[in-house]
Amino acid sequence: MKIAITSKIPESILGKIKELGEVEIHDSSTPLSKEEIMNMSADAEVLVVPLSDKIDQEVLDRAKNVKLVANYGAGYDNIDIAYAKEKGIVITNAPAPSSAVSTAELTFAIMLASAKKLIQSEKDLREGNFLGWRPTYFLGQELRGKTLGIIGMGKIGRNLAKRALAFEMDVIYTSRNRKEDVEEMGVRYVEKEELLKEADFISLHSAFAEELHHMIGKEEFMMMKDTATFMNAARGPLMDEAALVEALKTGEIAAAALDVYEFEPKVTKELLELDNVVLIPHLGNATIEARMEMGEAVYNNLKDYTEGKKPRNQVN
């Protein structure tokens, strides 16, 4: 069995996968082009890909021998699931329990970075502009007493709420379903419109679905306080990036902190030019703990397949 892996993965995981078959790996974090992915998968039976590799109809048609595509990550919106099902190709993902904690920590970190103006002030220092302590030099704000609004109360939202409560923030949330266990922690449920109007920090944590494309756009930004900070560590297409730029430029909102982008890995040029935005390169679950758990899940999916079992993380 030939296994094609289109990105560098942890050595210990690679070693285990090599026990299952012949492995061809692109041992680099530099993404392959679509043509290179198609060439690499042409004679493979199993294809292991990161979330950033788009596996569409054209790739699946070229991969004539592929029976399993194993995503190295919990998400799988990079793969044409429906078309894969038509072709009888199994798709698996790689959920990691640590991922929710890692992403919640990253979200809290960019909220702190934005509130305390850490990125801007460090840049100022590196440029030689720090002349000593001054009463009004890079004034930020405390999180204590501020309201955090969480859109989408899944595992990441829960972990973020716990951390915000520890910082004495008020936490509100909106979600498709009420979460009694979360409300017992002291988190208050509100409708989306109320959250947008009330929150000082708004954090997006909905899973991506086509009907949620641009769920945060011009109308939503106009509802927010002009002192609000918008954060997205979920999926880029959930927000209208052009509308976000406009809201930041016109002062409809005060700041943004982003880990994901609508046209990732491309980042809207105007965002790069704004100094009221914290920009992080999709590092939400970029921790040793989470990525090793994902690797183990990929290995287990492949092992199940080689043993003739249904892969434990099959999604189609």
State how far the Cα of 133 lies from the Cα of 151, in Å rounded to an integer.
38
Q: Bridge partners of 92?
A: 70, 314
What are the φ/ψ torsions at residue 107 (nearest 5 degrees)? -60, -40
213 belongs to the catalytic site: no
Hey, how many other C-beta atoms are within 10 angstroms of the C-beta on 129? 10
Q: Bridge partners of 170?
A: 147
Residue tagged active-site, from 158, 163, 235, 291: 235
Q: Note whether 314 and 88 are within 8 A (CB).
A: no
Placement of tokens 């249904």 in the chain: 310
Residue tagged active-site, from 62, 246, 282, 296: 282
Encoding tokens for residue 312? 């434990």
Who's near 301: CB < 8 A, 6+ residues apart? 68, 70, 92, 94, 311, 312, 313, 314
Torsion, Cα 177 179 183 187, to 10 degrees, reads -60
Hey, how many other C-beta atoms are within 10 angstroms of the C-beta on 300? 17
Encoding tokens for residue 98? 């640590």
Who's near 144: CB < 8 A, 6+ residues apart? 167, 168, 169
235 belongs to the catalytic site: yes
Instruction: Tell me how far CA of residue 249 lies from CA of 253, 270, 273, in angstroms.
Output: 9, 9, 11
Residue tagged active-site, from 264, 270, 289, 296: 264
241 belongs to the catalytic site: no
Instruction: Tell me how far CA of residue 301 lies from CA of 20, 297, 305, in angstroms.
Output: 11, 6, 6
Residues belonging to the active site = 235, 264, 282
